[in-house]
Structure 1
Amino acid sequence: MIKILFLEDEPNILEVTTEYMKMQGYEVTCVNNGQDALEILKNEDFNLAILDIMVPKVNGLEVLEYINKSKRNMATIMLTALGDEQTQLKAFNLKTDDYVIKPFSPLLLLKRIEAVLRRSLTEGKFDNDDTEFYIDDNTYQAYYKSESLNLTLSEFLLLQTLMKEPNRVFNREQLIMRIFNEDYISNDRIIDAHVKNLRKKLPHNYIKTVIGVGYQFNKEDI
């Protein structure tokens, strides 16, 4: 799962934006001041940091500078009300990947996040397995090391369903409803066939069989 550090001190923006990101399947760690962000960064790795600039204790540009020096594999997006040219130039000189000015659309921010993560992956900015393997809801495909796994639509929808709720165990009937809605009437063992074919295409055996129940997406045991 892609991990995002979100530095923001405005409670409403923090709550709403975090909810949007979690709905897309991202794991989000929230902080409301720069000092806490630095402490977390010293002990934990993230795929992306979204940073407000005007926050207490240590400002977002200082956090960005730390990331640029110590966490070069981490992508960054500045999310701030400061739209002046000088501040933007300073942020880009510190190698931020994008700069979003408040007020902003959460949906457009999600698209910017997707673009930054995709670009970072292509450029090799980070190469851990969580980001080498990902799904793209726009193309209905899964990718590993920038190569499409050539999934069928049913295989993609099955994988998407499992990945979006990795801690949940789905039974076969639930998966059929997610993939085919109410239009499909057949033996629920069709899911077993799709899982078998999907496992052949995935880089690792991410799909765990829960005996007597169904299937679950699990990367922890890889």
Structure 2
Amino acid sequence: MQEYRILFLEDEEMIREVLAEYLKIAGYQVTQVGDGQKALETLQQETFDFAILDIMVPGITGLEVLEYISIHHPELPVVMLTALGDEQTQVEAFNRYADDYIIKPVSPIILLKRVETILRRGHHLASSQDRGTSKQQTGLQIDELAFRALYNERDLELTLSEFLILQVLLQHPKQVFSRNQLIDHVFGTDYICSDRVIDTHVKNLRKKLPINCIQTVIGVGYRYEVVN
């Protein structure tokens, strides 16, 4: 079994130690850092499979570390783990391509499940490249096992949240989904966040899609429909 390496940025030592211990028990190799500068230095010296970042840490913030990762290690999945639950910060994190955003306090089990889900996506992506498991629809291919989308054989490099939004819309063409329905599909029914988070994901998704296929239904939500 592969031992995934996780970079864990958290300045509160007790929280860091407790959550890191749960991650280690689950089989992950965890490198702990307490400030943003150390996180950047560690990213420059070592390789990781995953990053968990607090935002309000000494010196360089977790959002700045996320920005560095999005530029220099765009393949690295990132979960933001923070006490900041305001809409603006969540939207900013997703604009910088965070894969998930978890508000503290968090159950260690929930954190483990979020990490496992995102890493499973990467595992299937690596193991199903040549299986022919994709479904063709108007030039857009969805590989459900690998959690990826392609257009004319080119990987669109979606985040997990972007993929899940596209998946549910594509599976039900022309059906309108409210933002709350999309939140439930992407994050689960127990997740509380502003519906603007969905708008941010859709905005980023539209930038990556080469066709105009996600339509806004004013006052309701979104639907999948290709418009020339």
TM-score in terms of structure 2 length: 0.54
State whether structure 2 residue 74 is matched by structure 1 residue 67. no
C-alpha distance in structure 1 between counterparts of 2:52 and 2:46, whole Å:
15
Of the three residues 90, 93, 101, the one matched with 2:92 is 90
The 3-state SS of whatever aligns with 1:15 is helix
CA drift of 1:120 comes to 3.1
CA drift of 1:71 comes to 0.4
The Cα RMSD (Å) is 1.8
Residue identity in the other structure for 1:57: G
CA drift of 1:121 comes to 3.2
Rg larger in structure: 1
CA drift of 1:45 comes to 1.1
The 3-state SS of whatever aligns with 2:92 is helix
Aligned length: 128
State whether structure 2 residue 1 is matched by structure 1 residue 14. no
Moved over 4 A (4+): none
Counterparts of 1:127-166 in structure 2, within 5 Å, are 127=126
C-alpha distance in structure 1 between counterparts of 2:39 and 2:111, whole Å:
21
Residue identity in the other structure for 1:79: L
C-alpha distance in structure 1 between counterparts of 2:114 and 2:97, whole Å:
16
Q: Which residue in 2 is equivalent to 1:78? A: 80
CA drift of 1:43 comes to 1.5
C-alpha distance in structure 1 between counterparts of 2:110 and 2:42, whole Å:
27
Counterparts of 1:123-202 in structure 2, within 5 Å, are 124=125, 127=126
Q: Which residue in 1 is equivalent to 2:30? A: 28
Unaligned residue ranges in structure 2 (runs of 5+):
130-144, 147-228
Counterparts of 1:41-60 in structure 2, within 5 Å, are 41-60=43-62
Residue identity in the other structure for 1:82: L
C-alpha distance in structure 2 between counterparts of 1:70 and 1:54, whole Å:
22
TM-score in terms of structure 1 length: 0.55
C-alpha distance in structure 2 between counterparts of 1:37 and 1:43, whole Å:
10
